[in-house]
Amino acid sequence: MASLVVLKFDTTDGAEKGLEPAQSLQKQQLLQILDVATVTWPKGRKRPKTRQVHLGALDHGINDDFIKQVRAKVTEGTSGLFLLLGAVTTDKVVEAFKSAPHFELIASNLTHEQEKKLKEAFAA
């Protein structure tokens, strides 16, 4: 089962910077990224900009309607990173994301217990 995780960053470039550790983990085969989208809202712009990264010929991905719904949580001066993930080595992911810019988990399809554990791990 794929996991969908949405991270909100306090800066407009946070989502792009947050993608870097995820891509590094994928190269190490510790994380499988199935699809990626970013939403950025630079200060002074009327609305956010959405960029979907198409990773090969996928028959599934992050639903455009879901992106539109959640991007409402991305406010001016912030950014969001949408990750559709396959296999995950959780402890390695948590460690790699500790160096990412400050972020908040704003949406996921994880169970309540999984989401709680993930939030606790990132808070540590």
> In the chain, which ranges are continuous DSSP H helix?
14-27, 64-70, 90-97, 112-123
Right CATH number for 3-123 from 3.40.190, 3.40.1520, 1.10.287, 1.20.1260? 3.40.1520
Per domain, the residue ranges of the chain are 3-123
More confident position, 67 or 78:
78
Q: By CB neighbour count within 10 A (0-12 exposed, 13-18 middle, 19+ buried), where does 51 fall?
A: exposed
User: How many whole angstroms from its chain centre is CA 83?
Assistant: 4
Label residue 57 by pLDDT band (50, 70, 90): very low
**Mean pLDDT of all residues belonging to the chain:** 80
